[in-house]
Amino acid sequence: MATTTVTVTLGHRSYPIVIGRNLLGGNYDIAAHLPGPDCLIVSNETVGPLYLDRLKANLPGRKLDALLVKDGEVWKTLATASSILDRLVGMRARRDATVIALGGGVVGDVAGFAAACYMRGIAFVQVPTTLLAQVDSSVGGKTGVNHAGGKNLIGAFHQPRLVLIDTDTLLSLPDREFRAGLAEVIKHGAIADAQFFAWLEENMVKLLDKDAEALAFAVRRSCEIKASVVAEDETERGRRALLNFGHTFAHAIENSLGYGEWLHGEAVAAGMVMAAALSDVDQRHRDRLRDLLETAGLPVAPPPLGGNRLRESMELDKKARGGQLRFVLLDRIGAARISSEYCAQRLQDILGQAASAIS
């Protein structure tokens, strides 16, 4: 199966997303994208033992160092970023050094942030190994860490030089993580491409079987959609916010449950169903979205949460945003828009249903 390349077009900062099988096995010349000899690979204690040696073998003749950080969202912190910076200083990395992130979105976000900070920004390469990271977090240049006061509160835009997606790495990914990544794939179809959405309806079973051809196509199409949105609106002043479909509800779910109870993609799945309920969209389209998410084994309703937890969390969000909530509303499968105009009563009903689901 051929390797494909999707380009993120950003002038002189344009970069390729290379998608294929066994790319870590030597099928791609990663070294060609590194500006200088110094290179720090950042991975974690789970992914490092699986893929670090293979990645290293692709970088002969480089001054390589590797740092394995702890595994988990709770480690996406300034302290971890700081440990990466310490290592760069320790190896006397020069301005032409490269940080390579090998792992899921957590590793990518924190390593990218360290790369953005070291000497005001050094080269960065993403080697994403979760489906979510391959179709979402590794593309677009958002990097950052969490703070006790909020998720992703500290960060920077720092585009990678290369995103290398070896779809074979998905074979070792736990099933639940894989399904969570599918939520973002379905999101891309729902907001931007009705044909892709229909393809997903046809091919979901193959995807769940991790059929190589189906996976390559789904990853490629998702990256194309994300890349085109990012190329148009790199710093999210407008259209990029469409990628937040389902995310206002998802964040409320994540905040109410406590992070880590549900995976992000699971919260996004339920959030998209809720956002579709808030949209003036034909019921058939709502049903198709719900059915596809269900087939992917994802939740289509929020978790049982007592009382008004979701409502309260959304109120806090509203306050933080200067008194106005914005939602991505679905016009039909394949088309969405960003709006702060929505039916307040319908929102209350949707949140109310979530509360009454358990009482």
Ligand X SMILES: NC(=O)c1ccc[n+]([C@@H]2O[C@H](COP(=O)([O-])OP(=O)(O)OC[C@H]3O[C@@H](n4cnc5c(N)ncnc54)[C@H](O)[C@@H]3O)[C@@H](O)[C@H]2O)c1
Judge whether 142 counts as a catalytic residue: yes
Judge whether 255 counts as a catalytic residue: no
**CB of 176: closest distance to ligand X in angstroms?**
9
**Nearer CB in complex with ligand X: 52/64:** 52
Given CA atoms 338, 343, 349, 355 in this order, what sign does their dihedral have? positive
Q: In what order do the strands lie in the sheet with 38-44?
A: 4-8, 15-20, 162-166, 123-128, 98-103, 38-44, 63-69
Contact criterion met (CB below 8 Å) for 328 and 341: no
Q: Which of 179, 240, 285, 311 is catalytic?
A: 240
**Nearer CB in complex with ligand X: 252/350:** 252
**CB of 181: closest distance to ligand X in angstroms?**
7
Judge whether 73 counts as a catalytic residue: no
Of 2, 60, 56, nearest to 25 by C-alpha is: 56
Give the number of residues written for the chain: 359
Burial (CB count <10 Å: 0-12, 13-18, 19+), residue 27: middle
Judge whether 94 counts as a catalytic residue: no
**CB of 187: closest distance to ligand X in angstroms?**
11
Q: Which of 201, 236, 294, 315 is catalytic?
A: 236
Judge whether 251 counts as a catalytic residue: yes
Sequence-separated contacts (24+) of 192-199 with Cβ below 8 Å: 192/225, 192/229, 192/242, 192/334, 192/335, 192/336, 193/221, 193/225, 193/334, 194/332, 194/333, 194/334, 194/335, 195/334, 196/221, 196/225, 196/334, 197/288, 197/292, 197/333, 197/334
Q: Which of 21, 179, 188, 264 is catalytic?
A: 264
**CB of 63: closest distance to ligand X in angstroms?**
26
Phi, psi of 14 (to 5 degrees): -60, 150
**CB of 137: closest distance to ligand X in angstroms?**
3
**CB of 275: closest distance to ligand X in angstroms?**
17
Judge whether 244 counts as a catalytic residue: yes
Q: Which of 179, 220, 226, 311 is catalytic?
A: 226
**Nearer CB in complex with ligand X: 68/336:** 68
What is the rounded CA–CA span in Å between residue 120 and residue 288? Answer: 46
Judge whether 120 counts as a catalytic residue: yes
Judge whether 70 counts as a catalytic residue: no
**Nearer CB in complex with ligand X: 124/327:** 124
Q: Which of 251, 285, 290, 309 is catalytic?
A: 251
**Nearer CB in complex with ligand X: 103/271:** 103
Which positions touch ligand X (CB under 6 A)? 44, 46-47, 50, 71, 73, 76, 103-107, 109, 129-130, 132-133, 136-137, 140, 142, 152, 169, 172-173, 177, 264
Helices (H) and strands (E) in the chain, counts: 12, 11
Q: What is the DSSP string of 200-216?
A: HHHHHHHHHTT-HHHHH
**Nearer CB in complex with ligand X: 130/159:** 130
Contact criterion met (CB below 8 Å) for 163 and 219: no
Amino acid at the residue 104: G
Q: Which of 142, 179, 187, 285 is catalytic?
A: 142
Residues identified as active-site: 120, 142, 184, 226, 236, 240, 244, 247, 251, 264
